[in-house]
Structure 1
Amino acid sequence: MDNLRCMTVGLVLVYHVFFLYNHIGLPGAMGDTGGGRLFDVFLYVVYPWCMFVLFLIAGMCARYSLKKRSSREFLKERATKLLIPSTIGLFVYHWIGGYLNIKIGGGADSIPAALLYPISALSGTGPLWFIQMLFLFSVLVVLLRSVDRNDRLWRWCGKCSFPVLLFLVVPIWGAAQIGNLPVLIMYRFGIYASAFLIGYLIFSHERIQALLERFHLPLLAASILLAALYTLCYFGENYLFSLQDFFTNAYLWSATLAILGCGRAFLNRKVSSYLSQASFGLYILHYPVVLSVCYALIRFFRLPPLANYAGALILEFSISFALWELFRRIPVVRSLVLGMRRK
């Protein structure tokens, strides 16, 4: 699970470069990079399942964490790691991303100087919506744990057969229809809550993971086929609103099952605690970095399209990693931005 989580976080960092350089007209685009729309294929392939997989893995990890901690200890740890960086951290570091969004959008000059900093901070949430929702879902499973003290629901969910796992696409599609905010479209409480609960109740079972490993090759083939069909179907359109479509959920679910099955088959090796911590830190820190890098490359340099993408990726990873190494050594910043406690 740690290997899959690290790799998925890496995909998020890559995704944001392609997103900021998109040719579809999605919000936040930096302008024409000179490249063709072929670069946008990556966005269509990754978007439906990437954050769903992260929430599902987070649900599994929540289950494993609650085996070793009381509910109070679990929530205290989650508040430190998730709630503080996504609230107070906005005013310490992420206001930079908010300011860049305002400036790139041409609105910086219309905001009074006294209000620019607080507005930038409140606008700097960026990818931190993920950890904000993660904290809410963590509270949800603690409430579930208090109601189901004997873990009857968890044990019952562990009896799922493979056809039942495939059928879960229907309730996932149903969950995708509810809890979607109209403007802040990244806050999709229904579908992402279903991912977290499925991870917590079902995929945290060793038996279920072994079942996915058994069928990992057919699942991989199905997900590749659906990825091609999904891209052909939606290419050129705004895919951000496609998560409520049944076909999108079918692709999302097949890709999720394939990723977990293949992860169990090929990535079932221990990952260092340093790499696991670093991946979380990179997720927290990368968005102001990628905004700055993509804007600077497109604004001040005339590079070939491939050089824009490659340069942005290299600079994004290297600068974010350097900031992670710096911030985790500064006591107050370490707590407020990264949610790290001094051991």
Structure 2
Amino acid sequence: MMSGNTALPRKNYIDNIRSATIVLVLIYHVVYIFNSVGVVSNIPVQGIPALDSICYFLYPWFMCLLFVVAGISARYSLQTRSTRQFARERVQKLIVPYLGGAVLLGWLNGWVTAHYVDMFGGHAVPGFVKYLVYCLNIGPLWFLLELFVISMILLLILRIDRRDRLWALAGKTGLPLIILLVLAVWGSSFLLNPPVVVVFRNGIYWLMFLLGYYVFSHDTVLAKLKQHAILFFIIAVGLGVVEVWYFFGQNYTSDACLQHPLTNLYLWMMILAVLGCAQRWLDFSNSLTKYLQKRSFALYVFHYPLLVTAAYLITTYTELPMAAVYLVLLPFTFAAPILFYEITSRIPVIRYLLLGK
């Protein structure tokens, strides 16, 4: 690994994949909080069932894709940083926003949930204790903690593999083996899944990060995906349609869905398709992509508490039909975090606690 600070040329399509995926996360959450299929949400209000199809289409792969991109980015980062510098940055950019986000914003998730669930069993609890319990409702901040853990595991692997043999070996991966990696993906869906906090699917998320670092950080491997991008895209979309049709009405976060061979084949083909298609059609930079690139992390960290709070207020104090609720919340979920960012980014202490910078 290099320890200098010479900046490497940015790969625009990697930045654009990250930004576009976070946009999909926002869209997903607007639909998810009103899902009709039993997926636990902060607001037990059912929306329009047909829109749940968006959740079935996105949920299997979009967070896996973010871990792949994070793994690729970690490889690029470690080309210009020592492992110690990398570790310090991970603490500042992941752990600080994780804790700061939970304390400054996460309590909103718990506060909303408490309106529907008796979180304290009918007992009188001091306000400060309530606040601390509310802060445990971290929402999407779980991604930051998960990413930090696998980043530290990566540093341990690098300490063992000092000559970077694993990365060199992964660079020889051919297209048939890339496709066959779906078997490892499927197997990982059974591994290290905690029984209560189901969002921490450690096995598959850690594997995705490591595949990003070791396999998809090679330009030769990515070139193979680019060459067959259209074919992968057609297969992925077709499998997505089958996924929605086959599982519609079931809990799409259940083991029965997430550990099914169809789901894992679909998510893998979609990841390969995105990595290939992005090289063809998303390898550019303009004012919009730069704007999103700068704010995508803030969008991810800020959007959910603001969305949940707005959704609670709208569904509690208005009688808008659900179609109108979606139409109000969708632009709000984009506009409110951006406005919040423009304010907080000008307050050094708050900026550091929420964004790590």
Normalising TM by the smaller chain, what interval?
over 0.9
> Residue 120 in 1 paired to residue 134 in 2?
yes
Shift of 1:304: 3.3
The match for 1:95 among 76, 101, 107 is: 107
**Counterpart-to-counterpart distance in 2, 1:321 and 1:305:** 25
* Cα shift at 1:21: 1.3
Structure-2 residue corresponding to 1:248 = 263
Deviations 1:302-340 (A, max 9, x none): 223332112101111111111111111111111111111
Q: Which of the numbers 46, 70, 75 marks the counterpart of 1:58?
A: 70
Shift of 1:111: 5.3
Q: Distance in 2 between matches of 1:97 and 1:170?
A: 37
| Contact 2:36 2:46 (C-alpha < 8 Å) held by counterparts | yes
What SS does the corresponding residue of 1:84 show, helix, strand or coil? helix
CA distance in structure 2 between the partners assigned to 1:290 and 1:22 by the alignment = 15
Does the 8 A contact of 2:101 with 2:141 survive in 1?
A: no
Aligned counterparts of 1:65 and 1:303: Cα–Cα separation in 2:
48
- Structure 2: runs of 5+ lacking an equivalent: 1-13
Q: Is the 8 A contact 2:194 2:201 kept in 1?
A: yes
**Deviation for aligned residue 1:274:** 4.7
TM-score (norm 1): 0.94
Q: Give percent identity, aligned residues only.
A: 36
Aligned length: 337
- What amino acid is the match of 2:273? A
Mapped contact 2:191–2:203 kept (Cα < 8 A) = yes
Equivalent of 2:46 in 32, 38, 44: 32
What TM-score, normalized to structure 2? 0.91
Gaps of 5+ in 1: none
Q: Is the counterpart of residue 80 in structure 1 residue 92 in structure 2?
A: yes
From the superposition, tell whether residues 277 and 233 of structure 1 become closer, same or farther in structure 2 (CA, over 3 Å).
same
Which residue of 2 is the match for residue 262 of structure 1? Answer: 277
Contact preservation (8 Å) 2:101, 2:301: no
Q: 1:39 to 1:110 in 2, by over 3 A?
A: farther
CA RMSD of aligned residues (A): 1.5
Amino acid at match of 1:31: V
What amino acid sits opposite 1:212 in the alignment? Answer: L
Instruction: Give the Cα separation in 2 of the matches to 1:111 and 1:263.
Output: 54
Q: Deviations over 1:16-70 (max 9, x none)?
A: 110011111221144134x3x2111101000000100000000000000000100
C-alpha distance in 2 between matches for 1:216 and 1:40: 28
Question: Is 1:277–2:277 an aligned residue pair?
Answer: no
Identify the match of residue 22 of structure 1 among 28, 35, 38.
35
Measured in 2, the distance between the counterparts of 1:19 and 1:110 equals: 31
